[in-house]
């Protein structure tokens, strides 16, 4: 291979820039030319390409978001869209591609590499940390810290007013961000899609709160929880416990922004370098992961199986703290 492309796709995550920088510099050191594709698969279809030199990725390591921008492309889901994307890659003489994103991005890469002879290597970047085969995805750690910072502030006002706050956290169908941030903030109850017994814990807590009016509380709600989000749960609780002072806070996209933490920067750099090494080693359709602090290679078809398991130990620890 002589020339590679790199792009970011799906929801952005802090640390994506660190990964772009690492891919670019590792490729250049190995005498490869680098093209950045803007706006994910949509930019690939439209040929929105930019040549990347080492100096072009200078000063981005500490920045949130992605300098190449990102998109969720409906057109790429069609065979005609992928054909056009392939023609654009061919025209630009691109021999291999590094995709930085989550499961939707890797599914797209897998389909395209089955249809056309072009190797793809993936770097997992999503605040949801829901990829199979890796302990870690870029952005998760930064998002976790952002949630903790926000909830600590909410705790101050909750305590002052004796209120119960339902705090909604992102994560799509995964509850890990809600679970770990809930433990870090000492949440009284954590509602996650992976365990419905937490709703019983909520009832117990509300009963206690109803008796002692001064009780405040933080209920973390994963957006994917079966009960349908913080607003809905809070409404139900208001109806059933009219004496409780209930508020809702949906943290939203502040969880996706901000300067990446040191861990996100270091791991993004490790995975960026590993992606180039994998390409030079003739690997394809592989996600780079980190398991037990070591770099691993996970085939795309395994990585995209949504990781619905949760560490029960974490849940037990949370319960123990609130007994």
Contact 218, 248 (CB under 8 A): no
Q: Which residue, 64 or 171, is less far from ligand F6P as judged by CB?
A: 171
- Taking CB under 6 A as the rule, which mask of x and - marks residues 207-246 in contact with ligand F6P? ----------------x-----------------------
Q: Which of 12, 48, 128, 130 is catalytic?
A: 128
- Taking CB under 6 A as the rule, which mask of x and - marks residues 84-103 in contact with ligand F6P? ------------------x-
243 is catalytic: no
Residue entry with tokens 């279809």: 45
Output the smallest distance, CB 181 to ligand F6P, in A: 13
Question: Which one of 60-68, 164-172, 292-300, 301-309 is the stretch in contact with ligand F6P (CB under 6 A)?
Answer: 164-172
Output the smallest distance, CB 225 to ligand F6P, in A: 12
* Count of residues near ligand F6P by CB under 6 A: 10
User: In a 3-state reduction of DSSP, which class is residue 191?
Assistant: strand
Q: Output the six-digit token pair for 284.
A: 């394809």
Which of 5, 6, 11, 85 is the binder for ligand F6P (CB under 6 A)? 11
216 is in an annotated binding site: no
69 is in an annotated binding site: no
Strands 294-299 and 164-169 come out as unpaired
Distances (CA, A) of 170 to 167, 194, 265: 10, 14, 21
256 is in an annotated binding site: yes
Q: Is 282 left (phi over 0), alpha (psi -120 to 50) or beta?
A: left
Which of 18, 19, 123, 127 is the binder for ligand F6P (CB under 6 A)? 127
Burial state string for 204-228 with b = 16 or more CB within 10 A and e = fewer than 16:
ebbeebeeeeebbbbbbbbbbbeee
* DSSP string computed for 138-188: BTHHHHHHHHHHHHHHHHHHHHHHT-EEEEEE--TT--HHHHHHHHHHT-S
Interface positions with ligand F6P (CB under 6 A)? 11, 102, 126-128, 170-172, 223, 256
Binding residues: 11, 21-25, 72-73, 102-105, 126-128, 155, 163, 170-172, 186-188, 212, 223, 247, 253-256
Residues annotated catalytic, as ranges: 128
């Amino acid at each position: 291979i002589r020339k590679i492309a790199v792009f970011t796709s799906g929801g952005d995550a802090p640390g994506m820039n660190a990964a772009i920088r690492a891919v670019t510099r590792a490729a250049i050191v190995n005498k490869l030319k680098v093209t950045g594709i803007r706006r994910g698969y949509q930019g690939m279809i439209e040929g929105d390409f930019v040549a990347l030199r080492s100096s072009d990725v200078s000063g981005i390591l500490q920045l949130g978001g992605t300098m190449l921008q990102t998109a969720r492309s409906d057109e790429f889901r069609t065979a005609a869209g992928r054909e056009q994307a392939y023609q654009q890659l061919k025209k630009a003489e691109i021999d291999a591609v590094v995709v930085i994103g989550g499961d939707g991005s890797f599914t797209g890469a897998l389909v395209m590499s089955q249809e056309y002879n072009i190797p793809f290597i993936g770097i997992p970047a999503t605040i949801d940390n829901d990829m199979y085969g890796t302990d870690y995805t870029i952005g998760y750690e930064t998002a976790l810290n952002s949630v903790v910072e926000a909830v600590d502030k909410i705790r101050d006002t909750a305590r002052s007013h004796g209120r119960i706050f339902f705090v909604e956290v992102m994560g799509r169908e995964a509850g890990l961000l809600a679970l770990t941030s809930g433990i870090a903030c000492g949440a009284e109850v954590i509602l996650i899609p992976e365990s419905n017994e937490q709703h019983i814990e909520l009832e117990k807590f509300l009963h206690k709160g109803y008796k002692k009016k001064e009780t405040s509380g933080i209920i973390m709600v994963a957006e994917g929880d079966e009960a349908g989000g913080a607003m809905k749960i809070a409404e139900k609780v208001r109806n059933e416990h009219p004496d409780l002072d209930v508020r809702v806070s949906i943290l939203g996209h502040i969880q996706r922004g901000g300067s990446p933490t040191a861990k996100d920067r270091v791991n993004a750099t490790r995975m960026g370098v590993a992606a180039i090494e994998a390409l030079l080693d003739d690997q394809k359709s592989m996600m780079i992961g980190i398991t037990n602090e070591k770099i691993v290679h996970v085939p795309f078809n395994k990585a995209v199986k949504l990781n619905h398991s949760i560490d029960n130990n974490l849940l037990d620890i949370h319960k123990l703290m609130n007994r």
